[in-house]
Structure 1
Amino acid sequence: MRAPEPEPTDSAGYLDVDPQAASGSGRAWWDANATEYLDEHGAFLGPADFVWCPEGLREADAGLLGDVAGSRVLEIGAGAAQCSRWLAGRGVQVVATDVAEGMLRAGLAYDESTGVRTPVVAADARALPFPDATFDVAFTAYGAIPFVPDAERVHREAARVLRPGGRWVFAVTHPVRWAFPDDPSERGLTATRPYFDRRPYAELGASGAVLYAEYHRTIGDHVADVVGAGLVIDAIVEPEWPEGHDAVWGGWSPLRGALLPGTAIFVTHVPG
């Protein structure tokens, strides 16, 4: 039996939405749009490359996970598991999770084309199906955190499944970007809404159902969520736009990247 066609978008904007009603929208949206997303961004991300952000920062150069040789590594919100596949190709014991089975299924084709089999698990980042203290490192590159109303639960789960001293690294849209239009042109250089307006960007169907939601958190919000989960912040990395990088991804572009940060990467660890 074919899955029902997703409801078309009727309205969109920065809206007050019921967190409970929006809680599961990410799963349905990414399931429905996996192919379109990978058609648009797959070449940039590569089938087995570890790209942290639209600025093109790669783990091979940044080393934000530290030395993972001999470690057990967990990717949260992995999409098609490109980052995990890069790690697996280097002999790292890694598991990739994502709430959207459509994204994980899309990754199977990458397994075939690269010859690197990547273990995947369909799981909500807020309720990971792993025992306590299972992994040495956990990470997400733009996964999970922007798409749930209760990101503090993601951090608590990451802390729970990490061993003492384990590292949790996550990349998100730089919070300052939310004051500006998501536009790669000069129109995206003028602030049009308050940085402290925490209403999510949401897309609604004619029925009023939340089809998509992406949440804004200030730097202070992210810090509070991480500290509240019992984690220690080691660094906040703000990648600069590199010279010669001409790719445009949504509101990211060389024009904006020269003036505004686009990504914030938090490097944290579990005490002990």
Structure 2
Amino acid sequence: MAQAPTVRANRGWWDASADDYQAEHGAFLGDAGFVWCPEGLEEAGARLLGEVRGRRVLEIGCGAGQCGRWLTAQGAEVAAFDLSHRQLQHSRRIDEQVGARLPVVQADAARVPFAARSFDLACSAYGALPFVADAGAVLAETRRVLRPGGRFVFSVSHPVRWAFPDDPGPRGLTADRSYFDRAPYVEQDEDGEPSYVEHHHTLGDWVGLIVASGLTLVALTEPEWPAGHDRAWGGWSPLRGRHIPGTAIFTCERPA
């Protein structure tokens, strides 16, 4: 699956699914909350981005802008973009409901529409990177728009989950495919055209892509499933969270 058909498929899927996604997960994400992952790790406590007040921040794959809205409330100057126009319409809806204004644009993460060295920080909470054919291009573009010394933090499904069925129950604890199988997951419509695409990279692949982009990997966070958190999200669940990691969060920096 090359980049162009991947973009077409995922733009269509997210435009068609945005209403259901926001209805199902909106309360968990909050109108202005920064949640990194289904495990519920919040930036307010984790501080993976460091100090954001007075910083220019880019959110990549912003969905309905919940993270960007939280960053704005902390004193950051934020710009955000997403592939899906319908997701951005939900961002505008929330802005109008809460009296906020998050600047958003529609764009492909492999072609970031901002000037070089425009941002101090960049972030992506399950946005864009799992859904592009060329994750290296996204990383390189992010490095380009970061200022020297800038930080990029992004979360994705933990690569080890690729070997297990996307099932929150006991079936999801038995591996049924190879962790090293990098063939993308592809759904097709009734005409046989791709309608959803997700790409897989091993942990080693991610490290290699980060290094090749010119960024430096400074931390890898694997959030544990917290006690008392009983909400399942697709294949993420308390049962699976007690046994296998569900999320990988990479903290990278552009060398000064």
TM-score, with normalisation over the residues of structure 2? 0.98
2:203 matches 1:219: yes
How far off is 1:89 after superposition?
Answer: 1.7
Contact 2:107–2:113 (CA under 8 A) maintained in structure 1 = yes
Report 1:103-252 matches (<5 A). Answer: 103-252=87-236
How far off is 1:26 after superposition?
Answer: 1.3
By relative contact order (CA 8 Å, sep 6+), the higher-ranking structure is 1
Gaps of 5+ in 2: none
Identity in percent = 57
1:51 aligned partner, one-letter code: V
Contact 1:74–1:137 (CA under 8 A) maintained in structure 2 = yes
In structure 2, distance between residues paired with 1:211 and 1:170: 25
Q: Matched residue of 1:23: which SS?
A: helix
Higher mean alpha-carbon deviation, 196-205 vs 23-32, is at: 23-32
In structure 1, distance between residues paired with 2:64 and 2:94: 8
1:212 aligned partner, one-letter code: Y
Contact 1:126–1:157 (CA under 8 A) maintained in structure 2 = yes
Q: Matched residue of 2:92: which SS?
A: helix
In structure 1, distance between residues paired with 2:52 and 2:7: 33
Residue 6 of structure 1 corresponds to: none
Aligned residues: 256
How far off is 1:129 after superposition?
Answer: 1.1
Pick aligned residue for 1:254 from 233, 238, 255: 238
C-alpha RMSD of the superposition: 1.0
In structure 1, distance between residues paired with 2:6 and 2:148: 33
Runs of at least 4 residues off by over 2 Å = 17-24
2:54 matches 1:58: no
Residue 76 of structure 1 corresponds to: 60
TM-score, with normalisation over the residues of structure 1? 0.92
Q: Matched residue of 1:235: which SS?
A: strand
Report 1:10-21 matches (<5 A). Answer: 17=1, 19-21=3-5
In structure 1, distance between residues paired with 2:57 and 2:172: 37
